[in-house]
Amino acid sequence: MLTDAEVEKIAALARLTLKDDEKERLKKDMSSILDYVETLNKVDTSGVEPLYQTTGLVNATRTDEPRNEFPMSEKLNELLIGQAPQTKDRFIKVPSILKK
């Protein structure tokens, strides 16, 4: 089982602030996970081929084509762009945050 110090270190690394009851619950949960991983590590897989992919699919892709699936989107875009204080070529212009 994990110690309180180990749980606190993990929480600090994750930048979490935990209450005492949360520490206890996480200590039990993480210990259970580590016990399960230890059980998996004991399984003899010496005669088992590595499995990299289970579906048989190979990069199912499609060609990207612009389309207007939402009939209101053009009107909504125009409305939103019309509300912006500054625009350029149908884009909303915002102050630069990066230095050149």
Could you tell me the pTM of the whole model? 0.49
Residue 35's domain is classified under what CATH number? Answer: 1.10.20
Q: Is residue 18 part of a domain?
A: yes
pLDDT tens digits for range 32-54 = 999 999 999 999 999 999 888 88
Q: Is residue 71 part of a domain?
A: no
Q: Is residue 63 part of a domain?
A: no
CA 72 to chain centre: 31
Contact between residue 2 and residue 34 where contact means Cβ atoms under 8 Å apart: yes
Boundaries of domain holding 8: 4-41
Q: Is residue 62 part of a domain?
A: no
Q: Is residue 61 part of a domain?
A: no
pLDDT greater at residue 66 or residue 26? 26
pLDDT classification of 100: cutoffs 50, 70, 90 = confident
Mean pLDDT value across residues 50-76: 79
Give the Cα separation of 13 and 27 in Å (integer): 15
Provide the domain count of the chain. Answer: 1
* Neighbour-count burial of 23, counting CB atoms closer than 10 A to its CB (0-12 exposed, 13-18 middle, 19+ buried): middle
Give the Cα separation of 28 and 34 in Å (integer): 10
Q: Is residue 20 part of a domain?
A: yes
pLDDT greater at residue 38 or residue 75? 38
